[in-house]
Structure 1
Amino acid sequence: MSRSRQQVIRMLALVPYLQGNDGVPVNEVAAEFGVTPKVIRDDLRLLMYTGTGEYAGELIDFDLTALERDGIVHIRDAEFMTRPLRISAREGIALIVALRTLRASASGPELTVIDSALAKLESAVGDTGAAVDVLLDEVDPVIHGAVVQALSTGKRLEITYATATRDEQSDREVDPRRLFTEQGKLYLEAWCLTAQDLRFFRLDRVLAARATETDAEDHDAKPRDLSDGFFTVGEETPYVLVDLHPRAHWLTEYYQVDLLEENEDGVWRAKIYGADWGWLRRLVLRNAGSVTVVEPQELRAQVIEDARVALQAYDEVVTSS
């Protein structure tokens, strides 16, 4: 089971436990849930942002002085957890759409749970007069099942992946992190052992997948923030015009890229968008020798100077040794 899922399950159980054991030492809570006191403290801080609204009395609260000074947990303002949740028709419709989206990417026992929740929600909301269908590109159910199994059991995946921008297939081992949908596509975020970095894999491009017996590692990698969307480009979004050599073609799959030209020598001309110029400069430098800046000239000159300084420093170290 993934860490995030374990945390959600633990936090759902924490509230009723603490309501029935007010004033319990945090070390005792940790022992009860089989984690460290630090994990419980982190859970409690996160729970303080949880509730039915955004004002005092609508959010769970804790006596932080008692927690930090004495190691004692006193829960406050959690009485709403014993009351049935009331939602508006608009909130109900939003939940129905979210569940239908989740159903389109689910498999196995998950479908039974989702269908049950959908039936209850649709019955409670009633006839809204608007039918909503969620459509995702079809994914091989065997492959999807293998990915879900690896995620739920925390195992490493072996996949065969096809790159649409060139007629190639590659066999990879990946440590899966999460599944998500974007623009009708189902994606897997995973740590790729070949690239030694986080990558996004479209499931409709995965030709084969098998969950191994090897435990997936965390790799201390921060998931990419998708709160503003997977592909978000505006008129003011910085971009760099580059030539991508074959070893850098993978950039077109992981980042927001407009592919402009594919030359016969395997070099692609493309626009790569980024949050700021500093990030774009670092991306080019990390892929030195595989990415060539065409414009803007200011960034090109800066990358050349950074590379020159780095090589000079390297030469000085080699000479001194």
Structure 2
Amino acid sequence: MTQSADTAPDQVARLLALVPYLLARGEVRLDDAATHFGTDADQIERDLRLLFMTGLSPGLPGDLIEVDLEALEGDRIIRVDNADYLARPVRFSPAEATALVVALRTMVEAAPTEARDVIERTLAKLEEAAGQDGEGLLRLHVTPTPLEASAVRPTLEAAIEHGHQVEITYHVPSRDQASQRVVDPRGLARVEEVLYLDAWCHTAQGDRAFRVDRILSATELDTPVLDPGARARDLTGGWFTDAETTTVTLRLAPPARWVVEYYPVTAQRPGPDDTVDVDLEVASEQWVQSLLLRLAPHATLLAPAAYAQAFTEAAQSTLSLYQADGVDS
């Protein structure tokens, strides 16, 4: 399993934590900051140079965060200025706080054990503050669905926490079959009203998203997962289904590189002429064709060959409709 490279969401999350970290310490050695955030010094330096373009509206020079480049390049010490507003308490409007509470209530049901306590404490503070302001709107609760109350969920959560493999019996309705699989669980994700297990499946030799309500049984094994550092994918985009998926390889030119940021790419490799080859797990050939039409002419479907041939035929058929009407392609 190949780990994907640092993405824009990764960098944004790090920047949001980096600035308060630096403000609390005054100055920090570049290597120490890299160690703290689990990355290398070059990446932290790229993050800091991005800070020059961030700040308060309207974005005039005096509104932007300042980084002491002389200290950074000379002594490899980080100093930031003009970012004190990030350390001030945030005040939410009732509508903003309500939306945040609803989102947190949804997250807490599928959150890992170590994160659940943090989310619940945050909810308690928000609801207490809302009560002091006389705003009862925030006292909202999301009732767990039967899917989330599944008997196998505690076993899955324990295996994720321990970094152990799980043997599951999974029912596939389209074939009315139950199959036994050994998987490396990564995380649980709620998509709309359905809870999914994101995992590497050793039977299919690929990433899979299993509906928890279709896992008939689950047994935590003593064997550790093969890749303890693997991160759970973002399954909230709604582009996948729980059917058997197919690995699709795309070659993306620079204008199409946004795919890496918006879809869970399982692997990526440098391609020729500043392109990048990416692998995605997809459940629908039609979805792939739709994506390629959006990306044209900046993407090429490398595999599987059957998908590539079908897309070429579909594109030629579409072009022929324009040519039949006397429209030049």
TM, length-normalised to structure 1 = 0.60
AA aligned opposite 1:191: W
Which of 305, 311, 314 is the aligned partner of 1:285?
305
Query: SS in structure 2 opposite 1:273?
Result: helix
Which of 134, 139, 156 is the aligned partner of 1:147?
156
1:273 aligns with 2:287: yes
Contact 2:28/2:78 (<8 A) preserved: yes
Matching residue of 1:128: 137
Query: SS in structure 1 opposite 2:286?
Result: strand
Structure 1, unmatched stretches of 5+, are 233-248, 258-270, 303-321
1:214 aligns with 2:229: no
Higher relative contact order (CA 8 A, sep 6+): 2
Which of 117, 120, 133 is the aligned partner of 1:115?
120
1:26 aligns with 2:30: yes
Matches of 2:30 and 2:157, distance apart in 1: 34
The 1:100/1:167 distance shift into structure 2, 3 A limit, reads same
Matching residue of 1:192: 201
Between stretches 47-56 and 10-19, larger displacement belongs to 47-56
Contact 1:97/1:134 (<8 A) preserved: no
1:250 aligns with 2:260: no
Deviations along 1:208-241, whole A, 9 cap, x unmatched?
3325441441798994674xx3149xxxxxxxxx
Deviations along 1:86-136, whole A, 9 cap, x unmatched?
111111011111111112324756554433322321232321299564554
Matches of 2:117 and 2:77, distance apart in 1: 40
Contact 2:167/2:221 (<8 A) preserved: yes
Matching residue of 1:314: none
Identity between Structure 1 and Structure 2 (%)? 34
Matching residue of 2:238: 230
How many residue pairs match? The answer is: 262
How far did 1:36 drift? Answer: 4.3
For residues 76-95 of structure 1, the aligned pairs below 5 Å read 76-95=81-100
Matches of 1:71 and 1:23, distance apart in 2: 10
For residues 15-54 of structure 1, the aligned pairs below 5 Å read 15-30=19-34, 36-38=40-42, 40-41=44-45
Contact 2:34/2:41 (<8 A) preserved: yes
Structure 2, unmatched stretches of 5+, are 247-280, 318-329
RMSD over equivalenced CA pairs, Å: 4.8
AA aligned opposite 1:276: L
Matches of 2:227 and 2:57, distance apart in 1: 36
Matches of 2:145 and 2:57, distance apart in 1: 32
Matches of 2:233 and 2:283, distance apart in 1: 16
Matches of 2:73 and 2:232, distance apart in 1: 28
Contact 1:23/1:73 (<8 A) preserved: yes
Matching residue of 1:163: 172
